Amino acid sequence: MTITASCHCGKNTFRVDGDIPAQLTRCTCSFCSKSAPLRAYYTPEQFHVTSPPDGDAVYRWQTKQVAHHFCAECGVYTYSDSPDFQMDGSWDGVTRSMGLNARLIDGFDAAEAPVTVIDGKNLW
């Protein structure tokens, strides 16, 4: 299926060629516990930014390996562009993963969806 998503003001829009995962992901690290995205992970090939880049802003912390994107206008967390970390925090050094904030998906209530917790507080 095709998923569409957008931030609150609409400056950032997305299209995903794929399904909403059965489990969304919540991370407990110091940044995610404050910004609170519920992520749906996709391959870079599935994930498309469909808006001009001027509404995008990026935050990186600690190792700088993860680009946390948010809307420069309305401040909503939009997606992460990160190493494809496994649940134990390991990475093959190559594969990337796109973590769309599922709260942005059109016609979908992420707050009611099942969630897997990543132990980011202890992993990084």
Contacting residues toward Zn ion, per CB under 5 A:
7, 9, 11, 71, 73-74
Written as six digits, the tokens of 107 are 């016609």
The torsion of the CA quartet 84, 8, 56, 92, rounded to 10 degrees, works out to: 0
Q: Is 115 in a helix, a strand, or coil?
A: strand
Q: Supply the minimum distance, in Å, between the C-beta of residue 31 and Zn ion.
A: 19
Which of residues 29 and 100 has its CB atom nearest to Zn ion in the complex?
Answer: 100
Q: Supply the minimum distance, in Å, between the C-beta of residue 75 and Zn ion.
A: 7
Upper half-sphere CA count for residue 98 (Cβ side, 13 Å): 15
Who's near 18: CB < 8 A, 6+ residues apart? Answer: 1, 3, 42, 46
Q: Supply the minimum distance, in Å, between the C-beta of residue 88 and Zn ion.
A: 34
Which of residues 20 and 74 has its CB atom nearest to Zn ion in the complex?
Answer: 74
Q: Supply the minimum distance, in Å, between the C-beta of residue 108 and Zn ion.
A: 18
Which of residues 11 and 69 has its CB atom nearest to Zn ion in the complex?
Answer: 11
Residue indicated by tokens 């897997």: 116
Which of residues 13 and 97 has its CB atom nearest to Zn ion in the complex?
Answer: 13
